[in-house]
Structure 1
Amino acid sequence: MTGHLYRGQAGLPFSSTLRVYEPLEAFPAEQQKSLQSMGARAESRAAVENAELQASLGRITRPGGDPFPTGQTDLVRLLAVSASGSGPAGPGRTGRHNADGDREVLPARLLYCPSQLVLRAGLAANALMEGIHGPLAQLLIPEEQRDRHQERIDQVKARDGGGRVHTRASTWGIPFSWFCLFQESDPTDVVEAEGRIVTVRIRATLGVALERVSNAVAHLALAAPDLDMLEDLTQLTEWLELFHADSVVELDYGAVADKVYPDDSPLDVRLGIECLAEGDMTGAAAAYRRLASRWIPIRQLARAS
């Protein structure tokens, strides 16, 4: 299945995602029922990725030209974690010792990340309209379709109690600010098929991720207050603070992993910020050169013919 997923993405822009998985109790009661129902039917992660990709391609060629998702086939990704949080659980079980020293066996804790395609499509369309390609976007997505989709967004927000979006996406490279949330020692899954890396997923608990990004913000605020990354990190912090304290954050490299992994970007970003804080401009420049040599060629693919 993973090999089919990789081939299905051939020729498409590299897309990476930052996801937050929350415990069931973080969602409104009505949404909890829906998530449990979807979770009970959930297949492998590869199957979810394939279904989402095929649905998006289907919308492009759908009769009537409406590219927006309707929410009828929304999906959910599940993450089973051990008692420690971000670590992968065993086959459905995890354990601890009670006061008598006997080992207790407990079910692994399930966390949920809904796809929320209706909300995310609306945000993406708004960003497109406000960007330099706004006039072209207005031709491709008529006002009538945008208005119809806004009605779907209003219905979703009313049903699910707000507009918290659990997924952020980036094409043609991963924002350097995202790497501040992770370290090379964090739990990591490398998914391979047919001699290629399909994706790499790295995880951290929300509390740890927030602590790391807060330290980065503090260093940059003093050493480099004009750096664009400082604003990115501030926005990232505000987003993460919307979620339940027992959540887990996941960086999914997507198909770009085959081009860059093994990847020292989390280390290079951390070293660069530490060097700036210490006034070591030479060290900071060296860290940036390593990042640039790795990621600028990827971003240049966006303009390749």
Structure 2
Amino acid sequence: MTGNLYRGQAGLPFSSALRVYEPLEAFPEDQQVALRAAGARSVSRAAIENAELQASLGRITRPGGDPFPTGATDLVRVVAVPRTGGPAPAAGPDDAGVPDAGAPERLLYCPSQLVLRAGLAANALMEGIHGPLARLLIPDEQRDKHQERIDEVRAHSGLGRVHTRASTWGIPFSWFCLYKESDPTDVVESEGRIVTVRIRATIGEALERVRYAVAHLALAAPDLDMLEDLTQLTEWLELFHPESVVELDYGAVADKVYPDDSPMDVRLGIECLAEGDMTGAAAAYRRLASRWIPIRQLARAS
């Protein structure tokens, strides 16, 4: 299977991701060597996305009926961000080939963790309304085999946190609470189309914003489903290093919705609810719905 599938993704579901990038010291020592090597290779983001996509499509047609990733193609995304102050860490013996430790930028890392994420996704599918169908498509033998991979990964890396959350056919409104219009944004274009949009915020900024949203919704709209989503999002972000960065990667859906005012509309909607302005809150929701409901309806289109 060849070609740049990532550029077009024709016929594939829209997939978006929320990723946390951590500094090297947040990872176990035995994993840091592999992460340094990934930073030194300077592989483009487009190449990483394309490699992961081709690998996922390859698993669908793999002989033996095992749809799970083995970890052999697990990749690492790397971003360079400005240093936040304080003394720069001293360069170690394994730092050859990576930017000078005294440089104004530092590298942050987000491992794909496909083995762990596939296991979590399979468990969620089994527990959902499509569980009986999922058990027919993924036999117990294959699930047991993958559980062995998960146990091996956990024993090797010791990681209890998953760095990536994914969503198909639209972006959860709760994710937009983490961002503002002034946050660093990369718009990736190719052949007149927007391939993706990536927005980044420091984890400190993201936590401050999501806690603000939780506090106001808890008072103004405690029964809103979004409040539970935001609470879970807060608990997830609190697992990571305080110098991490949180990235929202729109994926191919960006070509349908960007320029996108969703972060502003979500923030205005929450502020209006907190102030008792139901008219303003309803207007913000209508703007969000007009933008995202048509995207979600594509999931049921023939």
TM-score norm. by structure 1 comes to: 0.91
Which residue of structure 2 lines up, in the alignment, with residue 6 of structure 1? 7
Give the deviation of 1:170 after TM superposition.
0.3
Give the deviation of 1:128 after TM superposition.
0.8
- Asked whether 1:169 is paired with 2:166, we answer yes
Match of 1:147 among 131, 144, 147: 144
Which residue of structure 2 lines up, in the alignment, with residue 126 of structure 1? 123
Give the deviation of 1:6 after TM superposition.
2.0
Asked whether the equivalents of residues 22 and 241 of structure 2 are also in contact (C-alpha less than 8 Å), the reply is yes
Which residue of structure 2 lines up, in the alignment, with residue 66 of structure 1? 66
Asked whether the equivalents of residues 172 and 301 of structure 1 are also in contact (C-alpha less than 8 Å), the reply is yes
Q: Deviations over 1:141-174 (max 9, x none)?
A: 1100000000110111111113310000000000
Matches within 5 A, 1:174-253: 174-253=171-250
What amino acid is the match of 1:281? M
Which residue of structure 2 lines up, in the alignment, with residue 112 of structure 1? 109
Give the deviation of 1:132 after TM superposition.
1.1
Q: Secondary structure at the match of 1:181?
A: coil
Which residue of structure 2 lines up, in the alignment, with residue 77 of structure 1? 77
Q: Separation in 2 of the partners of 1:154 and 1:4?
A: 32
Q: Secondary structure at the match of 2:43?
A: coil
Q: Secondary structure at the match of 1:106?
A: coil
Asked whether the equivalents of residues 5 and 53 of structure 2 are also in contact (C-alpha less than 8 Å), the reply is no
Q: Separation in 2 of the partners of 1:187 and 1:238?
A: 24
Q: Separation in 2 of the partners of 1:52 and 1:3?
A: 11
- Measured on the aligned residues, the alpha-carbon RMSD in Å equals 1.9
Q: Secondary structure at the match of 1:263?
A: coil
**Structure 2 residue ranges without an equivalent (≥5):** 86-97
Which residue of structure 1 lines up, in the alignment, with residue 19 of structure 2? 19
Q: Deviations over 1:40-69 (max 9, x none)?
A: 334100000000000000111111110000
Which residue of structure 1 lines up, in the alignment, with residue 94 of structure 2? none
Q: Separation in 2 of the partners of 1:287 and 1:31?
A: 44
Q: Deviations over 1:21-53 (max 9, x none)?
A: 000000001111121223333410000000000
Aligned length: 289
Asked whether the equivalents of residues 68 and 149 of structure 1 are also in contact (C-alpha less than 8 Å), the reply is yes
Q: Secondary structure at the match of 2:22?
A: strand
Q: Secondary structure at the match of 2:240?
A: coil
Q: Separation in 2 of the partners of 1:162 and 1:200?
A: 29
What amino acid is the match of 2:172? P
Which residue of structure 1 lines up, in the alignment, with residue 269 of structure 2? 272
Asked whether the equivalents of residues 83 and 106 of structure 2 are also in contact (C-alpha less than 8 Å), the reply is yes
Asked whether the equivalents of residues 76 and 112 of structure 2 are also in contact (C-alpha less than 8 Å), the reply is yes
Describe the shift of the 1:36–1:160 C-alpha distance in structure 2 as closer, same or farther (beyond 3 A): same
Give the deviation of 1:255 after TM superposition.
0.2
Asked whether the equivalents of residues 3 and 193 of structure 1 are also in contact (C-alpha less than 8 Å), the reply is no
> % of aligned pairs identical?
84
Asked whether the equivalents of residues 3 and 194 of structure 1 are also in contact (C-alpha less than 8 Å), the reply is no
Greater Cα offset, 36-45 or 224-233: 36-45
Give the deviation of 1:3 after TM superposition.
6.8
Q: Deviations over 1:212-267 (max 9, x none)?
A: 00000000000000000000000000000000000000000000000000000000
Give the deviation of 1:93 after TM superposition.
7.6
Asked whether the equivalents of residues 4 and 50 of structure 2 are also in contact (C-alpha less than 8 Å), the reply is no
What amino acid is the match of 2:41? R
Asked whether the equivalents of residues 21 and 166 of structure 1 are also in contact (C-alpha less than 8 Å), the reply is yes
Which residue of structure 1 lines up, in the alignment, with residue 279 of structure 2? 282
Q: Secondary structure at the match of 2:110?
A: strand
Which residue of structure 1 lines up, in the alignment, with residue 255 of structure 2? 258
Asked whether the equivalents of residues 3 and 198 of structure 1 are also in contact (C-alpha less than 8 Å), the reply is no
The list of structure 1 runs, each at least 4 consecutive aligned residues, that deviate by more than 6 angstroms after superposition, is none
Q: Separation in 1 of the partners of 2:260 and 2:165?
A: 20
